[in-house]
Copies of this chain bind each other. A is one copy, B any other.
Amino acid sequence: MAKAERIRIYDVARVAGVSVATASKALNDTGRMTDATRQRVKQTAAALGFRPNAMARALTQQRSFTIGLLTNDTYGRFTLPVMAGINEALVDHGVSVFLCGIEDDAALAALHVDAMLDKQVDGIIATGKRIDRRLPVDLSGLQVPVVYAFTEGPDDAVTLVSDDEQGARQATEWLLGRGRRRLAHVTGPQSFASVTARARAFSAVAGADAAIVYGPWSEAWGHEAVAQFWSSDATRPDAIFCGNDQIARGVVDALRERGVAVPEDVSVVGFDNWEIVAAATRPPLTTVDMNLKELGREAGRLILELAEGKPVEPGVRKLPCKLVVRQSCGGDALAPRNKGEALQEV
C-alpha cells in the first residue's frame, strides 16, 4: 500500500476552483465570501480528506495546541488520575499533552522544559507527588503560562490542590455520625503539610483530646499503631481515621488478627481511595477520595484559558474531597449525599 501523500490546502483550493486564501478562510469560518463558496470548499476538503498541518498552522498563529505536563511522580498514583483529567479536558479542544517525567533531577527537568519551549507549547502544567514540595526547576518568568496542580508553586502562581482539611473533616464527622465517640487518627510523617492539615481538621471535629499518632506511610505502621493503642484498655478507640489507605489496611489487618471486628467493634476510614488497596482490604475501606481527576480537569481548563489570553486570578484553589463509602464503617444508612455518585466512580 503506497503511502498516500498528505493533501494540502493547495490541493483543496485547486479542486474547489478557488485561491488558497479563500480556501483557508472558508475552512476557518473567517473572512467574507458567498455561503455557496464556503460550502463548496468545505465539501471538497471533506471529500479529499484534508487535514491541516498543525506545524504550519502553529507557525503563523501563535498557538501550537500543545501543552507540557511536568511531573516528578514517575508516575504514581497521584499523577495518574490528574493526567487523565487533564487529557479529558483538553482533547475536545484539539490540544495534545507532552508528558515529561523528571525524577527530582534538576538537569533532566531543565532539559525537558527547554524541549517543550522549543516546541512552542501553549502552557505547562506542573504536578507532583506531594502538595507541599516544589519541582526541582524554576518555571517562573517563562513566556508561557504555568499551572501548578498537586504541587507547590510560587505565591503569585495559579495553583490547584485538594482540600485536605475538608476531606478530613468529612471523614471525622462521618465517624461521629455513626455513633463513634472515641476517635483516633493514625497518619503519616508530621513533615507533610497534608498530614498537619488533616490532623488539624480531625482535632477540630473530634475534640482536642482525641489521639493522633504520626509515623511512616506504610501498612507496617498501621499494625504498630494498633499494637500501641491496644496495649492498654484505656487507650482503645472505637473509630480510627487513617492518613492513607495503606495505613488503614495495616490497621484493619492488625485488628482482625487481634480478633477485633471491623466494623462492628471499630470503624476505620482511609484516605486516597486507592482502589487497589481500598477494595482489597477485608472489609473494603470507606475512604476519602481527593478527586484528583477533577483536579486535573480543572487544571486543563485553566491552562486553556491562560493560553487563550484570558485573565485567571492567581492564588491557591482548593478542590473538595469526597467520602467513598464501603464497608469498613458499617452500614451506610447515614451516607452523605454524594454517596451514590461516589460509589459509581469506584
Q: Which residues of A contact B (CB under 8 A)?
A: 1, 3-4, 6, 51-56, 58-59, 64-66, 69, 74-76, 80, 83-84, 87, 91, 94, 96-101, 108, 111-112, 114-120, 141, 143, 218-220, 246, 253, 276-277, 280
Contact = CB atoms under 8 A, between A and B. Distances in A.
Contacts of A96: 98, 100, 115-116, 119
22 contacts: A6-B143, A51-B114, A51-B117, A54-B119, A55-B59, A55-B119, A56-B59, A59-B59, A69-B99, A74-B80, A74-B84, A76-B80, A87-B99, A87-B100, A91-B108, A91-B115, A94-B115, A96-B115, A96-B119, A219-B280, A220-B280, A253-B253
Q: Which of A54, A66, A69, A143 has the most CB of B within 10 A?
A: A54
A315 B276 CA distance: 35
A261 B118 CA distance: 58
Contacts of A91: 108, 111-112, 115
Q: Which 8 A-B pairs have the closest CB atoms?
A: A99-B99, A54-B118, A54-B119, A55-B58, A96-B98, A219-B280, A3-B143, A55-B55
Contact of A276 (B53, B58, B276): B276
Nearest to A56: B59
A65 to B, nearest CB: 8
A52 B97 contact: no
Given A54-B119, A87-B101, A96-B100, 7 more contacts: A1-B141, A51-B118, A55-B58, A83-B101, A219-B280, A220-B280, A246-B276
Contacts of A114: 51
A175 to B, nearest CB: 25
A51 to B, nearest CB: 5
Nearest to A66: B119
Contacts of A218: 280
B143 A4 contact: yes
Contacts of A3: 143
Contacts of A99: 69, 83, 87, 97-99
Contacts of A56: 59
B118 A53 contact: yes
A177 to B, nearest CB: 30
A117 B59 CA distance: 17
Contacts of A55: 55, 58-59, 64, 119-120
Nearest to A256: B257
Contacts of A64: 55
A94 B51 CA distance: 26
Nearest to A64: B55
A135 B315 CA distance: 41
Contacts of A83: 75, 99, 101
Contacts of A80: 74-76, 80
Q: Which of A76, A119, A277 has the most CB of B within 10 A?
A: A119
